[in-house]
Amino acid sequence: MRKLPKIIIPALIAATMLGAAGTASAQPYGGPSTAGHAYPERHNTPGRAQAIRAQLGELQRRVERNDRRDRISGRESASLRHDIASVREQFRRFNRDGLNNREYRGLQNRIANIRSRLHMERGDWNDRRN
């Protein structure tokens, strides 16, 4: 009878430890997000972030080039620069803890809208000579 507690007590301790380890591993990575979601949608997205940065840089260069060549007016270029700065700021906020699919698509849509505005402004001939 004296050997039974010596066997049962360590077995109970081991079972308790294994149960606690299983519960801890079932928790979502990173815990709850600040938005109140139990399972955050954040991803480690350096490729997406680099793509957004490259597109914004290229768009900025296109606006500068068109302004220098007088293809768009000063007011139009200022408005486009303001929109690009706004997208950059939104990107910084979103990218603090990674971009989820919705945020990435939203940024891509805003960049596409600015591109189309630049294309439209180039063809309208407002406030230019000739």
Q: Count other C-beta atoms under 10 Å from residue 104's C-beta.
A: 20
- Give the integer Cα–Cα distance in Å for 38 and 26: 13
Buried/exposed 65-91: b ≥16 CB within 10 Å, e otherwise: ebbeeebbbeebbebbbebbeebbeeb
Q: Are the beta carbons of 81 and 130 closer than 8 angstroms?
A: no
pLDDT band of 38, cuts 50, 70, 90:
very low
State whether residue 26 is helix, strand or coil: coil
Look at residue 22 and tell me whether its pLDDT is greater than 70. no
Look at residue 122 and tell me whether its pLDDT is greater than 60. yes
pLDDT above 70 as % of the chain: 72
| Per-residue pLDDT reduced to its tens digit, 53-106 | 999 999 999 999 999 999 999 999 999 999 999 999 999 999 998 899 999 999
Give me the mean pLDDT over the 29-57 stretch. Answer: 69
82-85-90 Cα angle (round to 5)? 125
**Angle of helix 46-68 relative to helix 74-95, nearest 10 degrees?**
170
Q: Who wins on pLDDT, 7 or 33? A: 7
